Amino acid sequence: MGYSDDYLRAILTDVKRIALVGYSANPARASHAVAHYLVDRGYEVIAVNPGLAGQTFAGGPIYASLDEIPQDVDMVDVFRASEAVPEIVEEALARWPSLKAIWLQIGVINDAALEQAETRGVRTVQNLCPKIEIPRLGL
């Protein structure tokens, strides 16, 4: 799972709209901090959490699932257990044929699901955090 800096930089500079699955409204949770960081860095972040559906984040609605998001996204960023990843990947690939990337956060690993995405031409990352990689790469 060693990713080159060029590979990570290409993803992080190419994507603009990110669906963040597992967003938490609790400021103590990593998903909350990462979502706000990404917004502050100029990304459009669409929060996904069935328990918070109907509430708002960054001026837009929080959705219960990827299927409910009306617009296209470039990347799906996953803050869920590794076991939940196959269903999320399947939903994302079905919803957005032109999806550019799927990013699994630190501790989230599912080789088989990401292999499925890669066969469709989607770039994948697992067990890393964009909030760490963006400043490390100088973006």
> Residue 1 has what pLDDT?
61
CA atoms lying within 13 Å on the CB side of residue 4: 4
Q: Is 109's pLDDT higher than 90?
A: yes
Distance CA 122, CA 74 (A): 10
Consecutive H or E run containing 138: none
CA atoms lying within 13 Å on the CB side of residue 44: 12
**Pair 121, 97: CB distance under 8 Å:** no
Mean pLDDT of 34-62: 97
* Token pair 């001026």 in the structure block, residue: 59
Distance CA 26, CA 12 (A): 25
> Residue 131 has what pLDDT?
98
State pTM to two decimals.
0.96
Query: What is the tally of structural domains in the chain?
Result: 1
Reported as a single tens digit per residue, the pLDDT across 1-42 is 689 999 999 999 999 999 999 999 999 999 999 999 999 999
What range does the domain containing 115 cover?
A: 5-136
> Residue 81 has what pLDDT?
97
Domain at 54, CATH number:
3.40.50.720
> Residue 25 has what pLDDT?
96
Distance CA 50, CA 100 (A): 24
- The three-state secondary structure class of 88 is helix
Q: Is 57's pLDDT higher than 90?
A: yes
- 3-state DSSP helix/strand/coil percent for the chain, to nearest 5? 40, 20, 40
> Residue 119 has what pLDDT?
97
Reported as a single tens digit per residue, the pLDDT across 64-99 is 999 999 999 999 999 999 999 999 999 999 999 999
